[in-house]
Each structure stands twice: as C-alpha cells, then as structure tokens.
Structure 1
Amino acid sequence: MEDMQAPSYLIKIGNRFYAQVRVPSDIAESYGRKQHKKSLKTNDHDTAVDRLHSAGVEIKAEFAKHRASLLRQKQEPAPVPAPTPQSFADLGRQYGREIAERELTIRADLYEEAVARPKEFWRGAAQKFSEPDQFTYFDKLMADGDLDRVVGYIIRKRSEDRIADLKRMIDTGDMGEVLALAEERQPGLDRKAHVALALTLARAEIAALQNSLSGDLEGHRTAPAQTSASASIPVSTTPALPPVSLDALFDKWKAETKPSASTLSTWRGIIKSLKAAFPEKADDASSLTPEDMIKWKDDLVESGKAAKTINDSYFACVRTIFGYGVNNRLVTANPGIGVKTARGRKASKTRFGYTNAGAARLLELARKETKPTLRWLPWLAAQTGSRISEVAQLWGSFVKEEDGIPYLDIKRAPDGGSIKETFSERTVPLHPQLIADGFLDFVKSKGDGPLFYGKSSGDPEKKHASKGVSTRLAAWIRENGFTDKRIDPNHGLRHWFKTHADDVGIQDRMADRLQGHATKTDAGGYYNPELSTMLTALKKIKLPPVSAGGDELDKASGG
C-alpha cells in the first residue's frame, strides 16, 4: 500500500525554482531516485509559490503511472502472437480504461487541494489560463465560492488542452511521446506496427478524455469481453478489493492526515449520517454508488440543509475520504464525484463588522458582566483584533511583561489548543483601558492556568474546551439584540478592529501584525516591531469607540 505522500516542497537550484516531492516507498527502488523534482519554470518566488500545488498534483500522477507500469511488469505474459488490428484494439481499450481511472484519481486530488488550500489552489490554477475571458470566468467561479464548478472548470481546461496536444501529435507526426508508450506496451514491434499501435493509444486517450468531459468516466471502467483473437494479449486487471467499512475508511484517513479536532467532529457526524442513510452498505464502502449519493443529497435537501452545507461540507467530506480510499487501493471508486445540489442565489453573502456604535454597545454590555468569559473576551477581541478562539484559550502564564509593558503571548494552549496559522502566534501589548479596568487583577486571581475555561481533555480528536466558550459567547451576543445575520457575533469585532485601525491611521502592516493576519508581501514577513511601537499604535484605538446610550446606538449596533 502507498505510504502517506509528503507535500510538495519549494526548492531553488541556481536561479530557478522547482517543486520537490518524496517518492512513495512502494515505488522508490524502481523509480531510481528518492525525490522527484519538477521545474516551475520561473525565477520569481511568488510565481513559484502559486504554481507549487499544481505541480505536486502532476508529480503524483507520474507516480501513479509508474505504479501501473510496475503492476503490468509483474504479470507473467503469455506468448504474444503477431500483432493484429484486433489485438491493438484491445490494447487501446485497456489503455482507455487506465486513463479513465487516472482521471478519477486526479479529480479527487484536485478537489482535496481546493478544499484544503483554496487561495493557493486558485493562484496556481490561474497561472494556466492566459486568455482574458478564461481568467475572468474562473475568477467569477471563485467569487461564487462553488468549488465543484471551480474544479470542474480546471479539469475541463486541462483535458481539452491534452486532447488538443494529442491531435497535434497525430496531425504533425511528432509522436515521440506515444511511440515510447507503444514500445513499453508491446516491445519488439517493427516500425509500421509500432506507429500503428501509437496511433491506437493516442486515439484511445482522446476518446477517454472526451468521455470524461461528457461525464462518462464509468464507461471506460468495465472491461469488454475479449474475443478469441485477443485472448492471448495480456491485459492488466484490477483485483477485487476486500470490503472496508465506512468507519474503517474514515479511521485510516484520520490516522494519516491528522485533521483538526473541529474537522474530525464535523466529518464524523457526516459519516454517521451516510451510514444511517445506507445501513446495509456501511460495512462495504465500495458498494456505495453515485446513484446512492444523489439520493442522499436529495434527502439532505428535503431535510432543510443549505446548498452550501451540502456541497462544501457533506460532499467535501465524502469526496475527500473516498479520494483517499481510491489512492490507497481501499475502495474502487469515488461515488461523490460530480454530485452536488444547485445553489440558490442570495442577495448578499458579504460579512460586515460592527459599526463604532455597535462595538461600543457590545463593550458596555460586557463591562456590566461578572462572568469572566462575557466580561473580558469581547474587550480582548476589540483591543487586539484577535479571533475569539485565540483569546478564549489564553492562560495566566500567557500574560507577561517586558520593559514595563504588559502584553499577551497569543499561542496554542498547552492542553491541546490550536491556532489557525503559524503566523497567528504573536505578542500584543495590553491596551491601557483593559489595565485600567482591572484585567491584570483578574489574571492574578486565576493563576497560571486557563483564564476562561476549567480544563480541556487534551485529546487531539476532541474539540478544545475553548471552542465551547466561543460558542456560548456568540449565543450571549445574539441574545442581547445583535441579530443582523450579516455580522458574525464574535468575528464582527475582528472586522471592526481592521476598519477602525485604518480610520485612526494605523498602518496596514501594523494592523496585520496586531491581528495575526498574513502579510501581503514577502517583505512584510520581516516586520517585527518593538512592543513600545505596537503600544503607541494601539493607543489610537479608543475603547469603547463611542459612549454608549441612546436610541442611535441601538439602531447602529448591528442588532
């Protein structure tokens, strides 16, 4: 079985950038090298990063092709008679089936990549589109947030390009690539037969790709009955796989990928839903069909699930888990590919932050609370622009002082907490207003441990205790009249901070540093201001931003 494949790595040789991927252990010896390098055809770092993920998918396809070649070589071939048109046709059909299988794997890989890293995926894919109309259309798909259509568009583009390339080879006679393939499939042919087989294989690949564009990948996956004339031609077949249950498939994926506790919790529930829908198939994941997936999708729609939830959560889970299964020879196919529900158009998907008046009202409400989570978390989020999940996992030992400046050391809680990105770990001075309100006294009373929760299990497969704190805070904010669905009750403070920082003249790179945002340039990554400089910037943020009270606040609060 293929071991867990390492991600693509960016390296530089001379003045050119390359993607480098470790060769899987099961083919490393025959592959002849431990690392596969692919030129990214650029000496510009940003362009190389954009192209890195797409190159990784292409390298993985090369590994799959090599593995298929090894499987063919392991078979004991019967004596091969003189080639006939029928035997060439059989070889062409077999090659078409292999192309169809490869396309399924590539589609699963692309979708996983899009779900895991949408921004990097988009930038890398966009490099392939040179025509303005193509770029504009693809940009629109990304703006709509429909990953099914995005990945479908990329697959169509790469398939159409490959078909055009194969037709060019046939038209011009520049057939070196397919001649080499023909020699690998049927060595020892004379020149005329060699060319004839190469043409057959090229046309078979064109047909398989055209079928994939029309949505008929399955048509190539069932081997036709062999005639007596072709019975002596060795044709590779995929042995039947032993049954694997949905739970076992999920557990194997979990063990290798080590997803976040939040993803585990959500996706475990999705697998439970799938098992409940088809209990008779729960012990054999391969028995699930695309028709089953369509029925399940229809049932989810009928139950009131939103199209975005069905497409981007339920079927993202199914495609990822089954894609892993196909890649690791656990299941024969990915039944979730191509299944989606139509999205209804909404007036606006834009998320807003609180207005100054809304933020002030929320902070004044919090100031009246005695429960620590309600009293301090909104203020900490407002003074740092942090995600609530970051400050909810603060420990007393994370509140420190340097050169007379108290500050927060924002990082993962040692009992299994998580931070969204590596660059989100940072130090941020405490705003003078929090100190004046007694936050340091509160910290002293709690000691070095967690400030806003009792204890967490420490189990990486369970949600951290701070997640519940964040959820309860959001509910409290909604209960106090902040009901505008366009404003996330917790994250709205992060939006407010970004806008207010610009209003009071804080530079973007300073605001990004305070909030733990990704920098917009490579140079931004070197920006590491002193605590005193950050404190000077923070003092420009007035807390609360306006005085609370009056009808105007209620109208402007976002509630």
Structure 2
Amino acid sequence: MAGKIRYLHEDKNGYFARKRVPTDIRSRIGKEFFMKALGDGKREAERKLPSAIAEFEKEIERARANLPSGFASENGDAGDDTAACPLSPNQMAAKHYADQVQFDQDLRNTTHLYARHGFIDEFYVETLREIRSGAATNDEIQNAIGWIFRKFKSLGHLDSDPGSTEWRYTASRLAAAEYEALNLAALRDDDGDAPAPPEWITNALSELENTSEGGQKQEVTSLQALFEKCRTRKTGQEGLSDSTSKSYASGIRSMIEFMGADDATLITNRKINDWLEHLQFEKGLDPQTLNSRYLPAVRSTLKWAVNQGYIDHIDITASVQVPRKPKNRQKGYTQEEATELLQRALNYERQADSREYPETAASKRWCPWLAYFSGARIGEIAQLRKEDVRISPEGIRYIHITPEAGTTKTGHYRDVPLHKQLIDIGFLEFVEKSSEGPLFFRDENGTRDPVKAADQVAGQISEWLREHGLVPNGVSPNHGFRHGFKTLARRYDIATDYMHAIQGHATRTAGEAYGDTDLIAMQRELGKIPNISIA
C-alpha cells in the first residue's frame, strides 16, 4: 500500500508500533504481537518508531537466547532483570544516529511521499541545539529526547540517574546525534546524497564494532568508567557528588570528545599534549584552568587505572606552561578593604518593594562575615542550614560544615566555632528567626539541588560586591576571604594545625594528623582575631 510505513499503525487512540512475534518464540513471549503506544501526532510517532522496534528486536533476542524477559514498560522503565550492557555516551549517540539514518532510508524506500513532506520542526531543532550546548533544563531534555533515553534504558545501555552530570552529558551527545540525523535527512530531501557522518560518530561506531568483537574490553578501559571508579574509590561516595569530581568531570569529557572515542588505551603522552594545545590555543581556555582541572583529571585517572591493573603504564610528561602574572598586591582583602566590605554587608537591607528573596538578602549580610571569621569557601557557607548552627556540650556556638548540606572540598565535615563578634552583631538571632532548612536560599519543597543553589548564592554575592566597587583588582570576590583568613591567622599567631583545621585544609605531615583539634582549642585560637571596627 503506497505511503504505509511498516510497523506503524493508527487507531482512535493514536499511533502505535506493532510487530508480530516470531512463531518459534511465541509460547515463550506469551502473545502474538508486540505493541507500544507512540502518541497522537504522526511526526512524533515516526520519530519514536525506531526505538520501539529496537525494543521489540531486543526482546526477541532475549527470548531466543532463553534469557529472562526484561522488556520495558510503557513508561520506559526496564525490569530488574534487564541484561546490563552499558555503553558510553558517544556510543549510544552513534548507535542512535545509525538507527535514525537507517530508519530514514527505510521510509524513503517505502514511499516517494516521505522525501517530499518538507516538514522541519524548528522548535525541536532549536531545543536540540540548547541540549547540545548544555543550556537546556532537565525538564526540557526529558520532554524533547526522553524517548531516546527510554530506548537505551530498556536495552540495558544506560544506567545514569536523571539530572546527574553523566546524564546531562549523555543528553548533549544524544541531542548532537539526533541533530546530525535530522540534518542528513534534510540534505537527502534536497539532492538525495547522504554526507559522511561526523568523525566522532564514525569513531564511536568503530568502538561498538570492536566492543562486540572484544567482549568486555571496552567497558573495562572506558575512560569515563575508570574516572568514576577512581573517584568512588578515593571519596567513598557514589555519583561524583564531591566538588573535585565535579570539577574534574569536564576534563574527562573533553578528552573523550577530542579523541572521538571513550577508550583509555588509546591515550598517549603525545595525544594528551595535542589535546592541551587544542584547548589552550583553539578553544582559548586559560592555562591555569588546564593545569588545575583538565590535566589533573586525566592524569590522576590514568595513574589510578595503571596502579589497579586496568591499563598498561603511560608515561605522562605533557604539561601546560602558565605565564607568570605580575603580582601587584596580596591575594586577599587588606584589613581596610575587609572592614569597608563587612560594614556595607552589615548595613544591607532588602528593599520593601524588591523581588529579592529574604534568604538572598540574608546571604549578602551574613555570608561575608562568616567567611571572614572562618576562612570557609563561600559555597560552604551558602549551603548552611538552620540545623547546622549548633551548640556544643561545653556551650560553644559553632557551625557544622558538612557534605550532607551540599558539598565540601574534601568530602568530610568540620566544625568551626563562631567568632564572638558574629554573636554580638546578631547572627544567632537571625538563625533563630529563620525557617527550618537552608538559611541563604529558598527551598520550599525540598527539591532544589543544594550544590547548584549554593553556587548561585555565591555568584549573587560576588556580583553584588563588584557592583558596589568592593572588590579590588587582582582579588577574587569570594575567595579573597579565604586568602585573607590565612593572613589574619599568621598575623595573630594562630597555630598552623588549627588554621588548617578551621579552613578544612589537609595536614602537612603524618604527625599533624594524630589527635583532634577540638572546639575549645579552635575557639581559643579564633579569639585571637580582633573584632572588626564598625560604625
């Protein structure tokens, strides 16, 4: 029948995919047809059809291999016994691209009408661009390409949690593949010629072929998988939730994209050097960023993988030369600068007609003071909850900085006494009047990501300080407090081990690691810092 698309059917409830179950496995499957709803719109149904057929084929494979059924439900969740065969984001994207290109060709072979429909969903294409660039929200990703995620989850290829760093990266690659497939279809509409796929897709397709031939080799040597294992072993936490893992993740993704393959065995010292030059001179990344985040991410992962026996030794000597910047002043705030800044913060009040949340206003008032007297990172201060302001059995008031509230650099908690001036100017009264939960950002339903929310607060504080001319050239608005605390600690002779404990820095020697730095001692040391002179 002219124009009829194979496996696509329509009834009064909308479009659905239907494929007859082969007779040799029908008794095992328990039904005559596979069926899956595809929605009300024909264009949407055509887009979803390949993933539905792929699910049917996978079920047939399982049945013929006499494996337990793990066929996905209507909402895309596979059963617990789905055979796990994880693929890298690039591999999933390449597989999706190949499926879509083949499906497009199958449609053209079915009827001449398909190549003449001339329909391009510009809104969908623009959403793909936003997902590809990382600008889309999690909900926008789910609405646009959730069907692709469900396809790969049902096949056992995907195990990342929605909203996670890995999930969003996977989304960017899937969106890129979907975009390339649509672009190819549009070019075919014009002249019928199919351009070669991008190099990264070609490389990933080659990986898939090698994986099928080489068994589990690819899974074992995946750079992304090795990175996740490395960070899990080092932090004792799943999900790359600590700040170092999050900082390093972009470097790992960048290396994989540069190689066009997720395989640590392909990495050489020369390839690392070429990658660093590409990032510095073509992408314009700052050398300091490469030295502090990108290179350590790859180097530490490979070193760990070598030590654990996953890959052979790689002698990494590639490096980035960081130009020496002229030092015209100290890194932290001077006493005069800090005094002016803290005076302005203490006097800050939310305007009655302002749309600013009270929590945001409170962050501008209190976070600089807490950072000044603790040397903590602004992000650690911004994530504080009401329950994190505590009193010890000895009657010492302190803040409990913990990864449970969001994150810490080390992944460990620490307790820091409140300086007497903080109590004198009313911080405890502010806490007492605050609602349960975060002190410095609004989270009415308890659903906000505390790390992202704290980062947003830190950015707002930084912007506010700059707007009022309170940040000198050469000083980081928020990190200047951390540098400044080190200066204060040395000026007023705070013992080094207490200085490190208060700021959450690692000890220098094994000897310093013995024993605890308790609140009584830390309160004594913090008390050496004099009050700020305020009007």
Q: TM-score, normalised by structure 2?
A: 0.47
Higher relative CO (CA 8 A, sep ≥ 6), structure 1 or 2? Answer: 1
Q: TM-score, normalised by structure 1?
A: 0.45
